[in-house]
Chain A
Amino acid sequence: MTTSRLSPEAWRARFGPRAGDRIRLADTNLWIRVERDLQAPGDEPIWGYAKNLRVGLAQGSDAGPSELDAVVVGAVVVDPTLGVVKADIGIKDGRIVGIGRAGNPSITDGIDLPIGPHTAPVPGYGLIATPGAVDSHVHTISPPLIPAALSGGVTTLISAGFDEPPAAMERTLRGLEGFPVNVGLQANARSMDDGPLDALLEAGAVGFKIHEDYGAYPEIIDHTLAYAGAHDISVSLHTDGLHESAELEDTVAAIGGRTVHAYHVEGSGGGHVPDLLGLVREPNVICSSTTPTIPWGVSAGDETVGMTVLNHGASFGVPEDLELIRERLHPATMAAEGPLHELGAIQIVNSDSQGMGRIMETVRRTFQLADAMKHWRDSAAGRGHPGLPDDRPVPGAGPGHASEDNHRVARYLAKVTIEPAITHGIADHVGSLQAGRLADIVLWRPAYFGVKPEAVIKGGHLAWSPLGEGNATVERSEPTRYRPEWAGLAHGAPSVSVLFVSGVAHRRSLARRLDTGRSIVVVNGCRGLTRGSLAMNRATAAIEISPVDGRVTLAGRPLASEPLASVPLSRRYFLR
């Protein structure tokens, strides 16, 4: 080990940020602080001409059983369960061995991630590594959604119903086979008998979606949750916006304290009008928001009528349809949605892709919201509400100043990683960079964090990146475009991706029927969850919500933010 002879600036130019440094996340006003550096000081592995990642130096010459397949070297790990840590990420057999200190144990003390003759080094110096995002509300309408998902850092898709019948599920899964994403299909629960649900689980459904457009009556909620309880699967819920069979209280009674994932609780995505948001009071209801209203923008209402008409079988030529849809829109609930995320009383952000949402924006909008809520906390409207988390702000630091946002960033990152992973019974496999998880890792340049990834590693292999032209002498010669790496191509992708199913599915016959090269993984631990089971967004909020216009108050005070006129992670990064 060596004490550096370089100036701090020269050291950073080689190895990226040091412990104690703060990094601005892209063009947001979020700053993370590197809490620790787990790398070997002086023995940092670095590959190249005159570098040290060579036989007998930082690379051992023995191929022992603990030799890594790959190592992401020197990235700043940002993970909702591990914090902000400069470290090496060890990968073996497609999964994460751990984050720690990589190198050659023969020449360096404390090596827990041995680099051997078969270990591929992935340079991570100066980059940020996050878990691949888990999008828990994906309508698999059409294949173009997958390149969009990967280009936004999403590596796991939990669909949101409309995937049945079993024959259609088989087509969809066969079509998804060649994409480097993990998949679980939730089928719609459209029956109060077990038989039709059995057939869907046997066909590979990972869980169920209750949707008002097929019926979200109390009887369906009750039956589906009872069925889910017997089969350890998750249930997602879009409630009865018409109040035809149930109002909010009736839905809550039908849920009866059981675990359910409530979709787009702000309401404009559908559900009890206008007070669906009251579900944030129920600890057994895991609540999520979809992308269009996150964060609330000045144009959010303008786009919603057209979006809803086109997604919900309505017609611009039918005045009654338009009246119904306009009644779903409430600025007051949009105003409260961000603050409820800030409180941790909404747990998840997901896209609602191609069915009222944008899958490339799942991560991006989450961090736009984290940024917006940092500003809101500095406003009179955002101060002093009970239950707001303590983010240890720097005294006197206002918006735009370098306070430490590690806790805030972790809370919001959790909404698109570990929280949906726990909710859908897949947290042993995805949602964090802890040991044992699939090596689904998104690398970001700090200036592009949350908006355009530097590389997407899927199951331990590079799968999706902004690649350059094929004739060039170097990588990433312009024009660079997001495209598949080798593991992202049709015959590589299945070996790095899994299919999530319930324990009911007969995995061997399912594999045969789908002719899949994926690992088929059974979800577990879906039932009996409350918000307390989650990593960071565990709050309930005893809000009052007006059944007339959706206005939200907490402890007698309005809970509202203002709509944003502009957002970060946007105009600077996209062509048009």
Chain B
Amino acid sequence: MRLTAWEEERLLIFAAAELARRHRSVGLRLNAPEAIAMMCDAMLEAARAGRGYAEVEAAGYGAVSPDEVIDGVRELVDDVRLEVLLDDGARLIVLVDPLRRGGRSGSDAALGPEPDAARGPEPDVALIPGPGAIRPSPGEDPAAEGEAPKALPRIHLEVRNGSRRVIRVSSHFPFDRVNARLEFDRAKAAGSHLDIDAGSSVRWAPGETKTVPLVRFGGTGT
């Protein structure tokens, strides 16, 4: 057989999935490893049968329904990554939120703010959010926040993309040093960067003009 570790690992998935099928067949609801194994096994089998990428992916999403898992298991499965052997070779498939827990930010939003403690206990235990849930802070709690941001000078600049290509600029790039094809008053931008969240960026289509907020860098400037 000349089995590689890669094939042995797929046997491990099969064994776990077979166990999960046995448990499901006697009416047991699945735990997180069982649910993930079932999804992976379904995709491996679909790939073995010669199905295409989209069908294999669909087999993964359809392998386990949320009501087949133990309460609180949906929240334990965020993404499932698996490489399957399609007819054009090995391919990565990522199932995102396959048990439809709603995504981290979405489920947080659905929770709403902390209930007012003075109103007494919550009426329904079933409303307790799932494992690892985040209850957003009910409001701005200055004592809880870090050091208040120092007010740094802010300006707005009109910026035109004179390039034939799309240009994006990220949050902390020194704005006076961006691509020369962005046309604006560079002197005014000296020592500043886009006043947007860390790791965000702004996009200019060819010929597009946008007014963007800039903020001075803090720090030593050295």
Contacts and interface: CB of A to CB of B under 8 A. Distances in A.
Contacts of B114: 22, 402
A12 B134 contact: yes
A19 B83 contact: no
Given A41-B149, A448-B76, A575 B197 contact: no
Contacts of B5: 469-470
A573 B137 contact: no
B121 A401 contact: yes
Nearest to B90: A471
A355 interface: no
Nearest to A576: B19
Interface size class of B (residues with CB under 8 A): 35 or more
A573 B132 CA distance: 13
A547 B92 CA distance: 65
Nearest to B196: A5
Given A12-B108, A20-B141, A34-B144, A470 B196 contact: no
A98 to B, nearest CB: 15
A58 B94 CA distance: 30
A479 B12 contact: yes
A21 B128 contact: no
A48 B121 CA distance: 43
A452 to B, nearest CB: 9
Given A56-B174, A572-B31, A477 B92 contact: yes
Residue of A41, A54, A398, A572 ringed by the most chain B CB atoms within 10 A:
A572
B27 interface: no
B82 A477 contact: yes
A396 B117 contact: yes
Interface in A481-502: none
Residue of B80, B81, B108, B198 ringed by the most chain A CB atoms within 10 A:
B198
Contact of B134 (A109, A398, A446, A573): A446
Interface in A27-50: 27, 29, 31, 33-39, 41-46, 48, 50
B219 A111 contact: yes
Interface stretch (A100-108, A216-224, A334-342, A369-377): A100-108
Contacts of B13: 478-479
Nearest to A447: B132
Nearest to A400: B128
A1 B149 contact: yes
A13 interface: yes
Contact of B198 (A18, A33, A45): A45
Interface in B127-169: 128-141, 144-147, 149-150, 152, 168
Contacts of A314: none
A4 interface: yes
B132 A26 contact: yes
Contact of A477 (B83, B104, B138, B217): B83
Residue of B37, B70, B131 ringed by the most chain A CB atoms within 10 A:
B131
Given A50-B201, A473-B83, A400 B108 contact: no
B132 A401 contact: no
Contacts of A10: 105
A2 B196 contact: yes
Contact of B170 (A52, A86, A107): A52
A573 B77 CA distance: 11
A56 B117 CA distance: 47
A572 B76 contact: yes
Contacts of A445: 132
Contacts of B215: 1-2
A130 to B, nearest CB: 15
B198 A21 contact: no
Interface in A441-463: 445-449
Contacts of A36: 144-146
Nearest to A403: B117
B58 interface: no
B220 interface: yes
A24 B219 contact: no
A142 interface: no
A60 to B, nearest CB: 9
Nearest to B217: A107
Interface in A82-106: 86, 104-106
B34 interface: yes
Given A19-B146, A34-B144, A109-B150, 11 more contacts: A1-B215, A12-B104, A12-B134, A20-B141, A27-B72, A41-B146, A44-B198, A110-B147, A398-B121, A448-B76, A575-B31
Across the A-B interface, the 8 shortest Cβ-Cβ residue pairs:
A447-B132, A20-B137, A446-B132, A13-B105, A57-B172, A1-B149, A109-B218, A46-B199
29 contacts: A1-B152, A2-B149, A3-B149, A4-B197, A9-B105, A12-B136, A13-B104, A20-B144, A23-B132, A24-B134, A29-B128, A37-B144, A37-B146, A41-B146, A54-B172, A56-B174, A104-B219, A126-B104, A401-B128, A448-B76, A449-B132, A471-B6, A472-B83, A476-B81, A477-B92, A479-B9, A479-B13, A572-B72, A574-B33
